[in-house]
Amino acid sequence: MTENKNTDPNAEENKKQTPDANVTEPETLTLTQAELDEKIKAAKAQVKKKLPPRDEYNAFLKWKKEQKQDDPIDPAALEAQQKYEEAQRELELYKNREKVMLKGVDTKFLDFVTYEATKNVGDETDFDTALEAYLKANLHFAQAEKQPPSATGMRHGGTPTKMSGVERAFYEKNPQLRPKE
């Protein structure tokens, strides 16, 4: 059991200097547009060589699709499935429109805002988040405060049910002008 120790003091210095000696700045490569275009064309050609011809590829995709269809599809079941999916999409649309209405969007812009918010829905974003983001970016679609409709409580063409104090004083001084009740 003999240990092999290096007794050369310069060996340790060389080991310490070796990593520093290998550090060099990377060289920059400058290409002209023509050279770059040639390299791109060469890379595309290599990729094209590996791909099968288009008709073979389409035949493969068709075969792969047939392999996935283990069970024969019943046309009535397929039609029912399509109707169900359409009903689900329609239901989701109505739910989204209701959410937009509850945010205070003017009814003139209801469909537009629903469409724009739906475009931003993805795997990580749900409709509520997309709607909030869209309305923050487009404040003019959301009504700040709804003004309650000014109403006197009187229907068009109807007579008021109560007399105001001014009318009562007028009719006390002019009883001949009092309307017939």
Same domain, yes or no: 58 and 98: no
| Lowest-pLDDT choice from 67-76, 132-141, 164-173 | 67-76
Q: Regarding predicted confidence, which is higher, 21 or 87?
A: 87
Residue 178 falls inside a structural domain: no
Same domain, yes or no: 97 and 119: yes
Domain end position, chosen among 68, 91, 109: 68
Percent of the chain with pLDDT over 90: 19
Residue 56 falls inside a structural domain: yes
Q: What is the pLDDT of residue 45?
A: 85
Q: What is the pLDDT of residue 154?
A: 60
Report the pLDDT averaged over residues 148-177.
74
Q: What is the C-alpha radius of gyration for the chain, rounded to an integer number of angstroms?
A: 40
Residue 28 falls inside a structural domain: no
Q: What is the pLDDT of residue 98?
A: 92
CB atoms near residue 101 (< 10 Å):
14
Contact 144, 122 (CB under 8 A): no
Residue 95 falls inside a structural domain: yes
Q: Would the pLDDT of 4 be above 70?
A: no
Report the pLDDT averaged over residues 127-139.
90
Same domain, yes or no: 56 and 83: no
34-58 per-position pLDDT tens digit: 988 898 999 888 887 888 888 888 8
Same domain, yes or no: 62 and 81: no
Q: What is the pLDDT of residue 64?
A: 84
What's the whole-number average pLDDT of the chain?
Answer: 79
Contact 111, 101 (CB under 8 A): no
Domain that holds residue 132: 75-141
62-119 per-position pLDDT tens digit: 888 877 766 667 888 889 999 999 999 999 999 999 999 998 888 888 899 999 999 9
Local structure of residue 67 (DSSP, 8 states): H
Percent of the chain with pLDDT over 70: 72
Residue 161 falls inside a structural domain: no
Residue 103 falls inside a structural domain: yes
Is pTM beyond 0.95? Reply is no
Residue 27 falls inside a structural domain: no
Residue 174 falls inside a structural domain: no
Same domain, yes or no: 63 and 119: no
Provide the number of structural domains found in the chain: 2
Same domain, yes or no: 85 and 116: yes
Same domain, yes or no: 46 and 63: yes
Cβ burial of 181 (10 Å; 0-12, 13-18, 19+) is exposed
H helical segments located in the chain: 9-22, 33-50, 54-68, 75-102, 110-119, 127-137, 165-173
Q: Report in angstroms the alpha-carbon separations of 98 from 87, 132, 148.
A: 17, 14, 21
Same domain, yes or no: 79 and 135: yes
Confidence of residue 150 (pLDDT cuts 50, 70, 90): low
Q: What is the pLDDT of residue 83?
A: 94
Same domain, yes or no: 54 and 109: no
Same domain, yes or no: 79 and 53: no
